[in-house]
Amino acid sequence: MSARVCFVALIVGLALAPRRAASQTDNDQFREDTILCDEAYAHLTTCCPGLNASKIHCTYFYSSGGCDDDTVETLPAFTIDESNCIRSMSCSDLVSSGICTKAETPGSSPRVCP
C-alpha cells in the first residue's frame, strides 16, 4: 500500500515539478550582479595602482545540455554584496585593506570585500 502511494506521489511530483528545457543557454548579461560587478571594476581600476584588471571578469554564462554533467555556469567575479562593498569604499581604504590585491584573484578567499 505504502509503495503504491510512494509511486503515485513520485509520478505526480515529476509531473508538477518545474522543469528546465532539455537544452538551455543564458548569455544575457543584463543582470544586477554583472552590472554592479562592472561598476566595482571601474572603481577598482580608478583606485588601485598597478591593478591587473584583465584578471577580473564580470561575465555571466549558463548552459545546460539537459543533464547535470553538462551544466556550465560562470558567475561574475564579485557578488552583489562584494560589489556594493567595493563601491562604498574610498580609494585609500581599498588600497590599505588589501582589497586591490585580493580583487585580482577572486575566489582565493571567501570574500573579496570586506
Partner 1 sequence: MSAWRTALISFAAIATTSAAAGAETQEADRPSTLPRATWELGGGAGLRTLFGLNILGGDVTARLGLQATPRVGTFGECSYFRGNTPAGLATETVSCGVRLDLRPVAGLRVGGGVEGVYFDIARPSDSDRISTLGIGLIAFVRYIFNDSPQRILPVSPFIELQLDYVSLDTLHNPVAFWGPTLALGIRF
Chain contacts with partner 1 (rule: CB under 8 A): 26, 28-32, 34-43, 45-46, 53, 56-59, 84, 87
**N residues, the chain:** 114
Least Å distance between CB 111 and partner 1? 19
Cell numbers 580583487 correspond to 103
Least Å distance between CB 8 and partner 1? 35
Interior angle at CA 78, CA 91 and CA 111, nearest 5: 80
Distance CA 42, CA 6 (A): 55
Least Å distance between CB 87 and partner 1? 7
Q: Which is nearer to partner 1, 10 or 26 (CB)?
A: 26
Distance CA 40, CA 48 (A): 12
66 torsion bin: left (phi>0), alpha (psi -120 to 50), beta (else): left
Least Å distance between CB 89 and partner 1? 12
Q: Which is nearer to partner 1, 8 or 45 (CB)?
A: 45
Q: Which is nearer to partner 1, 6 or 74 (CB)?
A: 74
